[in-house]
Amino acid sequence: MWWVSSILVLPLLALTVGSDSQATTLTVRQAQQNALASCAQTCLGQLPNNCQADQVCFCTSSVRTSYESCLSSTCSSTQDQLDGQQYQATTCDRPVRDKTSTLYAVTWVFFAVAVVFVALRLLSRWRGLNGSGYSWDDWVVLLALVLVILLDASISRATSSGLATDLYTNSVGDIENVLKWIYVGEIFYITTVMATKVAVILLYLRIWTAESITKAFRLACWIGIGVVVLTALAFDFAFIFQCSPVSHYWNYIGGQTGSCIDSYSLLYAFGALNILYDFIVFLLPIYSLLQLNIATQKKLGVYALFFVGLVVTIAAIVRVSYVAHADGRMNVTWTYHYIGLWSTIEGNLSIICICAPAVTGFMQRL
């Protein structure tokens, strides 16, 4: 009967189609492999444990790391390295990773909150609303706001060029743009977080006048400002001139010759000092705060500064943890997006922190 024959033939037909599909896939992969540069093919031939590119072992993390390290050391052309990484991603059906929307959203939401806090701070200090008037700490906060605008804009420009995506999904030109804006953003990050520390210490000097506190405390504050400013200048200088020529930081990807110090070591060193300074700045007035003879409501504003300051320090610690686990230039467009994310969070939170006491006091007056 015809239907009996059909039942017998269908499995054979499915097996034939499946075999043809598998053969086609292998043919396509072989063609992709043949199109790779000789350096990438050399790396495929050096896979550990006799692993082949068409085997499951090619997709394990250890083999992937070994293969990418080989590409980095063997292929002089960045495009050849990208093609080699793209081949493995396609072969292993690696999912496409894209966190650009998250990075955009976090950056500008935190910035919007920071702007609101700065505006409320300025209103609270305005004499027209019975404020105490403006002083140096307010001008430094405005400077920090300008710096954080530049930081957030740099992170956004890097994101539009390919930050928060895998390296191999981008062109050489896009990667150069990402690195260029990372370079610019890092300088503004350093200056922003240091400027907010200066503003905090200036606030201490405003709260504890020469008549109400010991000379030792005020001297410690001025020394602290000097140390913070010198640290910012030193790290900005080191970061600006970490490569010779300077443009090698981003143009190395296109083959420009030059040399650089290890930028991740520089970031790690600054991150560690930044956290240390956070603790020093926020612990500096603890004894004086306990002795401060003001109403409890007014103390709430200062307590708010310490609470948000703790959150800022946590953000700085998280950022350093991502710097410590970064994989250098292996996948910089993906790796650095975590650092960029926490840079913008910390920068904006720092401004929110320094504005918290004034905003709290303003809300109490309404």
Q: Tell me: the pLDDT tens digits for 265-277?
A: 899 899 999 999 9
Rg (CA), the chain: 28
Rounded Cα gap, residues 251 and 246, in angstroms: 9
Task: pLDDT band for 28, please (50, 70, 90 cuts).
Answer: low
- Positive or negative, the Cα torsion across 219, 224, 225, 230? positive
- Positive or negative, the Cα torsion across 135, 146, 349, 268? negative
Rounded Cα gap, residues 44 and 265, in angstroms: 31
Q: Are residues 270 and 190 in contact, defined by beta-carbon separation less than 8 angstroms?
A: yes
Residue for token pair 């199109």: 35
Q: Are residues 173 and 326 in contact, defined by beta-carbon separation less than 8 angstroms?
A: no
Strand partners, 259: 244
Q: With pLDDT > 70 as the criterion, what percentage of the chain qualifies?
A: 84
pLDDT over 70 (residue 94): yes
Rounded Cα gap, residues 78 and 340, in angstroms: 23
Q: What is the CB-side half-sphere exposure of residue 220 using CA atoms within 13 A?
A: 14
- Positive or negative, the Cα torsion across 339, 343, 345, 349? positive
What are the sequence ranges of the domains in the chain? 23-91, 100-365
pLDDT over 60 (residue 26): no
Of 11-15, 87-91, 333-337, where does mean pLDDT reach its minimum? 11-15
Rounded Cα gap, residues 324 and 270, in angstroms: 12
Q: Are residues 88 and 327 in contact, defined by beta-carbon separation less than 8 angstroms?
A: no
Strand partners, 244: 259
pLDDT over 70 (residue 127): yes
pLDDT over 80 (residue 101): yes
State residue 20's pLDDT score: 45
State residue 90's pLDDT score: 86
Structure tokens given for 134: 């403006």
pLDDT over 80 (residue 85): yes
CATH of 100-365, one of 1.20.1070.10, 1.10.357.10, 1.10.287.3610, 2.40.50.140: 1.20.1070.10
State residue 297's pLDDT score: 59
Strand partners, 165: 98
**Averaged over 134-150, what is the pLDDT?**
94
Q: Which of 323, 320, 313 is nearest to 263 (CA)?
A: 323
- Sequence-separated (6 or more) residues with CB below 8 Å from residue 264: 323, 326, 328
Residue with the larger pLDDT of the pair 20 and 80? 80
Helix 215-240 crosses helix 172-207 at what angle (to 10 degrees)? Answer: 170
* CA trace torsion 190, 196, 201, 202 (10° rounding): 120
Strand partners, 260: 243
Q: Which of 81, 110, 85, 107 is nearest to 97 (CA)?
A: 85
State residue 116's pLDDT score: 96
pLDDT over 70 (residue 365): no
Residue with the larger pLDDT of the pair 161 and 299? 161
Task: pLDDT band for 23, please (50, 70, 90 cuts).
Answer: very low
Name the strand (E) or helix (H) holding 259: strand 259-260
pLDDT over 50 (residue 357): yes
Task: pLDDT band for 298, please (50, 70, 90 cuts).
Answer: low
Of 106-110, 152-156, 175-179, 319-323, where does mean pLDDT reach its minimum? 319-323
Residue for token pair 């504890």: 208
State residue 4's pLDDT score: 47
Cis peptide before 245 (omega within 30 of 0): yes
State residue 67's pLDDT score: 86
- Mean of pLDDT over the chain: 85
* Overall residue count recorded for the chain in this entry: 366
Structure tokens given for 71: 């590409």
Task: pLDDT band for 318, please (50, 70, 90 cuts).
Answer: very high
Residue 165 three-state SS: strand
Structure tokens given for 316: 């700085």
State residue 27's pLDDT score: 58
